A and B are shown apart, each in its own frame.
Chain A
Amino acid sequence: MQQGIMQQGVDLMLYGMGTVFVFLTLLVIATAIMSSLVQRFLPEAPPVIPAPRPAAAPAGVTDPKLIAVIKAAVDQHRAKNK
């Protein structure tokens, strides 16, 4: 019996570890095949990027006064963070 349990332990280790490796190897292969098949035959539509709204921007954006204000603010910020 004493010898028996040692033998059982070795069996468990060899078969157990073997099974884990074989199974996960199969899984690696299956996953790789699946991924390549999906990428080739079932590619997802590329995410639709909503087209930038054409010229909906109000004319005010190009207001030279506003641009000057923004420019001044940015310059001030840069000067501060030097």
Chain B
Amino acid sequence: MENFLGLWMESGLHLMQPGQVIMILVGMVLLFLAINKNFEPLLLVPIGFGGILANIPGAELASSAVDAALHAAHPDVMAAFANALGIDPAAGVKAIKHAYEVASATHHAQLANLAADFGYNNGMLYNFYSVAIASGVAPLVIFMGVGAMTDFGPLLANPRTLFLGAAAQFGIFATVMGAVALNYFGIMDFSIADAAAIGIIGGADGPTAIYVASLLAPELLGAIAVAAYSYMALVPLIQPPIMKALTTHEERKIVMTQMRVVSKREKIIFPIVVLVLVAMFLPSAAPLLGMFCFGNLMKECGVVDRLSDTAQNALINITTIFLGLSVGSKLAADKFLDPKTLGILALGIVAFGIGTAMGVIMAKLMNKFSSQKINPLIGSAGVSAVPMAARVSNRVGLEANPQNFLLMHAMGPNVAGVIGSAVAAGVMISMVQAMTN
């Protein structure tokens, strides 16, 4: 009989909390969207599944050893923790948890060792998260793979399109202001670091968003990643109404001149030019752009095809699996079921909208000053989201003029957007870290 009781106490049904039920349902909705609606399936399948795993009651897959110990709240362990943190052991588990959250890295390490002494282990997903995301490795490796898949030809043929990629980054900073304003009016409690991490959703670049969030606001990472990837899947729905509202039928019909042929040598030298500029002016963007340029150089130089092939296929796939599961581990009920998540989702879509609009407006502005007309529809591709945004530009252009193929022209601002969001990410990380220290 006692054995039965023990089994029941250990079972998921007994330990289940309402928040976990909801989060498991959220994970299933993500799986449904990925499998049935084809929403960024490569990311949302691992994220959704990781989210379900993270919320299995009793398994504590997403918890560190310390969290697991705090959750079990064994009196001996709590006394040892309180001692290490220098607070009164009688203060209770809540006080210890709070003291742990604000404690220094030294204390964190000490408690982790204590927890290990008492036989608590890190959960599987927690380990994935520390290796893949907390260390910054996975987003950077993915960025390298994206670099190895990127063709800068259209950008080199028409470098002016870099301005479109720059303009579209305004979505990021407008959203930062939005988050700050929500905080100012007391609607939600966002710090400047939170605001910056939310804003980067507007960069429409998954790995960049995860990289920035992991550095500035790890507790919001789950919501930010889910928002970024869901909206990237929704680009074909979000962008066209904005693009059509801001352009006339005549503008949408503009046919762009055939692009010149870009030589192999230009393509090889370009990543090195970017790297030199980063080294000279923007060292804070070096991790992201450095890996990106490295990947691109491997592709273009033509002598390390094996490495380039690995970076853009096997390696990026492996990394995506662990990145997705690790993001899923951040879909814990107490972090995700928070009004802030709604705020992040709302701000994220605003960020996409503003970025799209600014790209289109910038293209119209450039037409005012230049004789070589560009079709304003390619401006919207300045929000990265490669290659979805460029395809949207092409489709809307074809609606206006069935003979007008904008895809290659739109790839220019599209890859410019990737560089632009990496630059914006670098600036924000260095500025916010200077502000908060």
Contacts and interface: CB of A to CB of B under 8 A. Distances in A.
Nearest to B424: A20
B208 interface: no
Nearest to B168: A20
A38 B269 contact: yes
The contact size tier of chain B is 35 or more
Interface stretch (A9-17, A53-61, A73-81): A9-17
B427 A16 contact: yes
Interface string B120-159: 0000000000000000000000000000000000011001
Where chain A touches its partner, the secondary structure class is helix
A78 B120 CA distance: 82
Contact of A17 (B160, B169, B192, B282): B169
Given A2-B184, A34-B270, A16 B419 contact: no
Interface residues of A, number: 32
Contacts of A72: none
A31 B154 CA distance: 12
Interface string B158-172: 011011011001101
A22 B166 CA distance: 9
Nearest to A44: B263
B263 A38 contact: yes
B273 A5 contact: no
Given A5-B184, A20-B166, A23-B423, A10 B159 contact: no
Interface string B180-209: 110110000001100110000000000000
Contacts of A9: 176-177, 179-181, 192, 195
Interface string B78-108: 0000000000000000000000000000000
B348 interface: no
B163 A24 contact: yes
B347 to A, nearest CB: 13
A51 interface: no
A54 to B, nearest CB: 29
Given A24-B163, A24-B423, A30-B277, A11 B282 contact: no
Contact of B191 (A5, A10, A30): A5
B192 A20 contact: no
A25 B164 CA distance: 11
Contact of A13 (B165, B177, B183): B177
A27 B173 contact: no
B219 to A, nearest CB: 18
Given A5-B184, A24-B162, A39 B263 contact: yes
B428 interface: yes
Interface string B259-289: 0001111100110011001000110000000
By Cβ-Cβ distance, the 10 closest A-B pairs, closest first, are A9-B180, A13-B173, A24-B166, A31-B159, A8-B192, A19-B427, A24-B162, A28-B159, A44-B263, A16-B427
12 contacts: A2-B183, A2-B184, A10-B177, A12-B428, A16-B176, A19-B427, A27-B162, A31-B162, A31-B270, A35-B262, A43-B263, A44-B263
Interface of B: 155-156, 159-160, 162-163, 165-166, 169-170, 172-174, 176-177, 179-181, 183-184, 191-192, 195-196, 262-266, 269-270, 273-274, 277, 281-282, 416, 419-420, 423-424, 427-428, 431-432, 435
